[in-house]
Structure formats: C-alpha cells, structure tokens
C-alpha cells in the first residue's frame, strides 16, 4: 500500500512541476510610462487599466538619480500624493504571482549624472544603499537599471567597467533580501559594444530587457521600420543590415548573454516620418518626423492605439522579408507592430529559446479595446503564443 501511495505522490509531483514550468517558462515584462496619466481623452492611462494577469513582471518607469547618489522621485504628486507606487504594487493583490519593479533612468535622464555617481566608489556605494532602502520603503520586488547609455551621451569611457561594479554590488545587497535586479539595454551592436560588458551583465542580472525597437526613426534621412525582425531589401550597408531584432539578439548571444536571460523588447507604437513624396515604401527619402498623435502628442511617434483607432485613414502594407507592417496616409509614414508581427516575434522568442518578451509600453497598446473587441491585443497575443 505504501509503495502505491508513494508512486501516486511522485506522479502528482511531476504533474505539478511540469505545470509550473509550462506556465512560467517565458517572462512577459510590461513597462508602464507613468506620465501617461496626464494624456488626454482615450489616451489617459491609469494603473487600474492594467490587466495584472497578462504580465509576469510589471515595471514602473521612471525614477531618477541625484549627484549625491540618491534615488529621485521625479513626480511626487503622482507617485506619492496620488499613490501611484502603492497602487502599482497592489496589482499583486489580484495576481499574487506578479512581480513589480521600479526602473531608474530613461532617455530624458541622460547619462551624465549616472556616470558621475557610478565612477566614484563612495557615491556608488551610497547609491546602492539608497536603492535598497527605496525598494524596501515602497514595497517593490526589484529594481530595473535603464541608464541610457553608459559611455555615451555625456558619460565617460570608464562607464562600461563602472556599470559592472554597480550591478555586482547591487547583486550582493539584493541577494540578502531576494530582490530582482534587471536592466534595460541598448540593443544594437553599434551601441551595446560601447556601453556593456555583456558577459558580466549576464552573470549578475536576473534578466536583461533588450530594447529591440527605435532601430529607425525620424533621425534618419529615409523611412525605416521601428523594429524589423530581419534585415530588408532597403538595407544596403553592413550597419543597416544589423539594425533588426534578429541581428541584435544574435550579437548579445555571441557576447555571452545567456539565452534564458534575454528578454526581447517589442514596441506597442510606431516611428513616423513625413516623406519627401507620397511614394509609400521603406527606404524612401524623408523630410523629417511625422505628425504628432492626439494622445501621445509627440512628433515622430504614434501609439498603436492611435494607429488602430484611425486605421481607415492609413493604407497598410506588409514587408514580408522583415515580417512587419508599415502604413501611409498621404506623405505620412509609420513603421509599427500589429498583432500579426508581434505574434511572429513571440514565436521567434520561443524558437530561439530566449527568456521571454517585453513591451514598451502598456499605455500605447489598445488598452481600451477600441479596435479588436478586447483590451491589450498586442500583449494578449504574446501571452497566447507563450502559453501554447
């Protein structure tokens, strides 16, 4: 009788372990741009709009750094007075498996202050202590480093090595409390080779959010796609042929990043151009940034929600070599991701044996369900691919 019950216990244990491994195999990392609370109309996004079951990890963006090694709350009215930190972490009351993190940095923070602190041993150690205290005080599960970028944009040549010192020291402190330590990193070889000791990042970080988007934009002289999966017919030079998701992922793998720690970034938005003519194609001359959208109100940028709500105004094309859509409206061009291209990218993540996918960001998906009959269509398709 005992041998039968022991056998049953072993079977049940195997079932439980397999179920856990299946459901938790791929990470779905969701960034929230906290400033979206100030957007008008249907673009206004509140924490309560988040579906906590669609993310394994949710990251609140952003806090900043001070020259004294402190963590700077950038919008105290939203984060503290309106309780954004508290409300964000309370998402775990709905989904106990959800992990919440807070990200420091972002494009607008630049690099100078980070370089100043991290290259000074005393300031860096002060910063590490302040980060731990911050995570403890506000109840996050971890901390995400989004320094854009070490050794660039006002940084120093010593930043690459200093960044490793920082993550090593944070790792040592975080391990005492079981906190998660992650980073968002520049994807392309041209940037990553300057900023990161990739093998060391792979050693100390829990996972690495590779920002495989913004690979083309209005800073270019010709139209290009925000995040092509592969190189395309308009890519003429060797450097252009490296500006795609696959090339970026392969570079990070070649430099020692563990596949299971690579989280592939996917944009819930498009980069826009004003074309010099009305010839709708990737690789044609551009006169500058495209017109701003009604919610994000940023030239050169449209959220997926802004694109799909005005779908009838756009003529949509598919670039089969790059596995992405693009669309035109008169002299306006947008290269973006839709449900089909996101599905293909999620399948790519599975086929490559990578750690999961990340979206930037929640508030520009179709979070109100205006276009497809359900909320968060881009985030949903990622989950469906990973679950299957």
Q: Is residue 291 part of a domain?
A: no
Contacts of 251 (CB under 8 A, 6+ apart): 188, 189, 192, 242
pLDDT at 21: 34
Question: Which residues of the chain register pLDDT less than 70?
Answer: 1-24
Strand partners, 357: 28, 264
Is 50 inside a domain boundary? yes
Residue 12 lies in a domain: no
Report long-range pairs for 97-100 (Cβ below 8 Å, ≥24 apart).
97/24, 97/56, 98/52, 98/55, 98/56, 98/57, 98/58, 99/56, 99/57, 99/58, 99/141, 99/142, 99/180, 100/57, 100/58, 100/59, 100/60, 100/140, 100/141, 100/142
- Position 325 in a domain: no
Token pair listed for 104: 């420091």
Residue holding tokens 């042929």?
241
pLDDT at 20: 34
Helix H or strand E segment including 275: strand 269-275
Q: How far apart are CA 136 and CA 252, in angstroms?
A: 32
Burial of 343 (0-12, 13-18, 19+ CB in 10 A): middle
List Cα–Cα distances, 237 to 119, 234, 301, in angstroms: 36, 9, 25
Asked, for residue 141, whether it belongs to a domain, the answer is yes
**Residue 208 is part of a domain; what is its CATH number?**
3.20.20.80
**Per-residue confidence (pLDDT) for residue 386, from 0 to 100:** 98
What's the domain count of the chain? Answer: 1
Q: Catalytic: 90?
A: no
If DSSP codes are grouped into helix, strand and coil, which group holds residue 220? coil
Q: Which one is catalytic: 148, 240, 306, 319? A: 148
What does each C-alpha distance from 334 to 214, 223, 225, 301, 337 come to in angstroms? 12, 8, 8, 8, 10
Range of the domain at 105: 27-267+338-387
- Assessment of whether the complete model's pTM goes beyond 0.85: yes
For the stretch 107-136, pLDDT in tens is 999 999 999 999 999 999 999 999 999 999
* 195 inside domain: yes
pLDDT digits (tens, 9 = 90+) for 305-333: 999 999 999 999 999 999 999 999 999 99
In a domain? residue 116:
yes
To which H or E segment does residue 198 belong? helix 198-204
| 5 falls within a domain | no
Helices (H), 322-376: 339-352
């Amino acid at each position: 009788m005992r041998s039968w019950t022991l056998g049953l216990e072993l079977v049940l244990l195997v079932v439980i372990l397999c179920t856990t491994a299946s459901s938790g195999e791929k990470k779905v990392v969701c960034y929230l741009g906290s400033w979206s609370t100030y957007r008008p109309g249907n673009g206004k996004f509140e924490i309560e709009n988040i579906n906590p079951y669609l993310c394994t990890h949710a990251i609140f963006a952003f806090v900043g750094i001070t020259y004294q090694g402190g963590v700077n709350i950038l919008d105290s009215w939203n984060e503290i007075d309106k309780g954004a930190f508290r409300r964000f972490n309370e998402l775990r009351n709905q989904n106990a498996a959800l992990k919440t993190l807070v990200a420091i940095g972002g494009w607008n923070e630049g690099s100078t202050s980070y370089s100043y602190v991290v290259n000074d041993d005393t300031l860096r150690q002060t910063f590490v202590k302040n980060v731990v205290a911050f995570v403890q005080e506000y109840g996050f599960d971890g901390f995400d480093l989004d320094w854009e970028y070490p050794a660039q944009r006002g940084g120093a040549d010593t930043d690459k090595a200093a960044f490793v010192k920082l993550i090593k020291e944070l790792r040592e402190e975080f391990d005492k409390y079981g906190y998660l330590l992650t980073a968002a990193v520049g994807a392309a070889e041209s940037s990553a080779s300057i900023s990161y000791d990739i093998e060391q990042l792979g050693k100390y970080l829990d996972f690495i959010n590779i920002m495989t988007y913004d690979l083309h934009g209005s800073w270019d002289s010709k139209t290009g796609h925000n995040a092509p999966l592969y190189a395309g017919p308009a890519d003429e030079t060797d450097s252009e042929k490296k500006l795609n998701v696959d090339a970026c992922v392969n570079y990070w793998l070649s430099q020692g990043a563990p596949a299971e720690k690579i989280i592939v970034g996917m944009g819930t938005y498009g980069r826009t151009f004003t074309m010099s003519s009305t010839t709708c194609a990737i690789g044609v001359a551009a006169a500058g940034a495209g017109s701003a959208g009604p919610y994000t109100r940023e030239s050169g940028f449209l959220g997926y929600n802004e694109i799909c709500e005005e779908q009838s105004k756009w003529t949509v094309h598919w670039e089969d070599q790059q596995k992405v859509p693009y669309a035109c409206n008169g002299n306006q061009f947008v290269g973006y991701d839709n449900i089909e291209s996101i599905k293909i990218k999620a399948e790519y993540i599975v086929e490559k044996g990578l750690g999961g996918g990340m979206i930037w960001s929640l508030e520009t998906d179709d979070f109100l369900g205006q276009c497809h009959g359900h909320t968060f269509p881009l985030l949903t398709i990622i989950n469906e691919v990973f679950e299957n």
